Amino acid sequence: MPGELRYTNDHEWVRVTEDGVVRLGVTDYAQDALGDVVFVELPDIGAGLSSGAVCGEIESTKSVSEVYSPLDGAVTSVNSAIVDDPSLINSDPYGEGWILEIRLNDPASVDALLSADDYRSLTEG
């Protein structure tokens, strides 16, 4: 579990990529619980996101799970590689398996997300 990332209670991670832009993905814990990912639905570039709102969907051999936006902002990029090869979410959840990027309305809002230690406590508790 990368220590420089921030995490959500919904098992997503956030990486600050540049001022005001973050990359979003699902954690190793989440991908393991999902099983083999077979389909991903992504939002449109430019779509506005509200914290807690659904911004995508991941279908696996076990279930269908929604992806929630952890912060307010707008989609600046989506990872089309995971549409072509959804298994990237399983094989590299913190790297090539990222889902989307968001330009935040408030860049400081990242600080309200869980630290790696807090997320570890959540998943091990």
Domain ranges of the chain: 6-105
pLDDT at 39: 97
Residues of the chain with pLDDT under 70: none
What is d(CA 116, CA 44) in angstroms, rounded to the nearest whole number?
29
What is d(CA 38, CA 29) in angstroms, rounded to the nearest whole number?
17
Judging by DSSP bridges, how do beta strands 73-78 and 64-68 pair with one another? Answer: unpaired
pLDDT at 1: 86
What is d(CA 24, CA 97) in angstroms, rounded to the nearest whole number?
10
Q: Where do the H-state alpha helices sit in the chain?
A: 28-34, 80-84, 88-91, 116-124
Q: Given its phi and psi angles, is residue 40 left (phi above 0), alpha (psi -120 to 50 degrees) or beta?
A: beta
Task: Tell me what percent of the chain is helix, strand and coil, each rounded to the nearest 5.
Answer: 25, 35, 40
Residue pair 45/38 in contact (Cβ under 8 Å)? The answer is no
Domain covering 6-105 in this structure, CATH number: 2.40.50.100
pLDDT at 94: 97
Cα angle value 99/21/9 (rounded, 5°): 55
pLDDT digits (tens, 9 = 90+) for 87-106: 999 999 999 999 999 999 99
pLDDT at 48: 97
